[in-house]
Amino acid sequence: MYRFFKRFFDVLISLIGLIILSPVFLIIAIAIKIDSKGPVIFKQVRLGLNGKEFNILKFRSMCVGAEQQEGGVYSGKGDKRVTKVGGFLRKTSLDELPQFINILRGDMSFVGPRPPLTYHPWPLENYTDEQRKMFNVRPGITGWAQINGRKGVEWNKRIELNVWYVENMSLLLDLKIVFKTVGKVFSNADNENTGATVIKTPTDKEEGKDA
């Protein structure tokens, strides 16, 4: 029953948010175009509900083709690929605002496991049965893992936190996550990668291999 109401409020709040924040969207779009060459919106294929692929939307915060340059999917402090406007958007998490559209489409929710890349930390087929439980709900803009370490948490632990959320999802838990997320956004806590956060793949872990 809660999942039905969760979806209802996701749609309602995202729709209201898009209407109210439309001037902010316009200002950000203009700033991005003035600051650097390239599209305003950055699209990236992620894994969503039931492992289905979808395009996550963000305001572009890096130069075009950044993932093919040195650093790959990880962006740490002082990353030269991040634009001036992009740096501000990342610190304030405003780059995530276009995901309100993903919520309206049904790709995402406000609260849920953050959707991973199709190939990182590993392909879908390499997730264990236990880890795949994180795909039983829509991914979120924020989630349990984000308020418990965010980008500094190793992926096996991050997925463990995501699975715990799926198994304990409730209105009170979602409200707790939202309030704590607001605090982390204002303090900019755990918002930078401290290095590679994939130590072992599920197979390595099971077989006792070195990463």
**Which pLDDT band holds residue 209 (cuts at 50, 70, 90)?**
very low
Give the number of other CB atoms < 10 A from CB of residue 140.
Answer: 26
95-152 pLDDT tens trace: 999 999 999 999 999 999 999 999 999 999 999 999 999 999 999 999 999 999 877 7
Where in the sequence is the domain holding 135, given as residue range(s)?
Answer: 2-207
CB 109 within 8 A of CB 115: no
Number of domains in the chain: 1
Question: Contact 45/54 with Cβ under 8 angstroms?
Answer: yes
Q: What is the pLDDT of residues 36-52, one digit of tens each?
A: 999 999 999 999 999 99
Is residue 71 within 8 A of residue 157, CB to CB? The reply is: no
State the pTM of this model. 0.84
Q: What share of the chain is helix, strand, coil (3-state, %, to 5)?
A: 50, 10, 35
